[in-house]
Amino acid sequence: MTARFAAISFVASETPEAEAALEKLVARYGNADCDSADVIVALGGDGLMLQTLHRFIGTGKPIYGMNRGSVGFLMNEFRERGLTKRLEAAHRSIVHPLSMLAIDENGREYRAKAINEVSLLRRSYQAAKLRLSVDGQVRLEELISDGILLATPAGSTAYNLSANGPILPLDAPLLALTPIAAFRPRRWRGALLPDQAQVMIEVLEAPKRPVSAMADHIQIDNVVSVAIAIDRSIDLVMLHDPGHSLDERILREQFGY
């Protein structure tokens, strides 16, 4: 029987640990061209996993990460031997990215995808003033804060968790809208939104209180409005070893281990 993942393509971060792992794995398994590969194996940390998912977005290629970085929430344990068998036994986690449309102070439009979150952050010593709308209805007339973010379940354990946002199970049909250092309303802790929600964030007093928008690692400065919605037309496939699926890791994170 032909293996599902006969052709493996490796990518690695530019660290000594990752490059050493790349050399050993290529010598053992070869290195297929990424366009013809059945699977992409990423060697690094969560940053590389996000970069790799963005690089192959829309291709449907599964990504299997092995941790050779400082943070490895999205990664599997690194082992040189038995990779083919691990790939065959791996479980699939499918996530959908957020689609961001940002408009800057000059009226220019920028589109980007985010796998973890779309965040808005103040650019000066003054707090940002933001108006929040969901599905065309204003829900918060004015939020004064350092910023705000909208996270997917896959991204809920990243920046969202650091900002005291909720952890979402991977299959939860929800998005986490989380303020960053909210000043007014002081007790507002954010909201859980259905994942079909259309979110609009308008920047009030933009020239005086400039704001940047970020879709994962893509940054747009001096925005005046940002529209965000989940893009169900794109499936991003991550592979994880049995017992270490992304669902299991998110569950473990909620219990502190």
Give catalytic residues, as residue numbers: 46
Indicate the SS3 state at residue 19. helix
Burial of 55 (0-12, 13-18, 19+ CB in 10 A): middle
> Is the peptide bond prior to 62 cis by the omega test (within 30 degrees of 0)?
no
Cα–Cα distance, 48 to 67 (Å, whole number): 10
Contact partners, residue 170, CB within 8 Å, separation at least 6: 93, 95, 153, 154, 246, 247, 250
Look-up of token digits 């940047």:
212
Pairing of β 128-134 and β 137-145 = antiparallel
Q: Is the dihedral of CA 88, 93, 96, 97 positive or negative?
A: negative
Single-letter amino acid, residue 146: D
Cα–Cα distance, 202 to 188 (Å, whole number): 18
Q: How many CA atoms lie within 13 A of 60 on its CB side?
A: 2
Listing from the earlier edge strand, what are the strands of the sheet with 63-67?
Answer: 8-12, 39-44, 63-67, 236-240, 91-95
In contact, 101 and 118? CB cutoff 8 Å: no
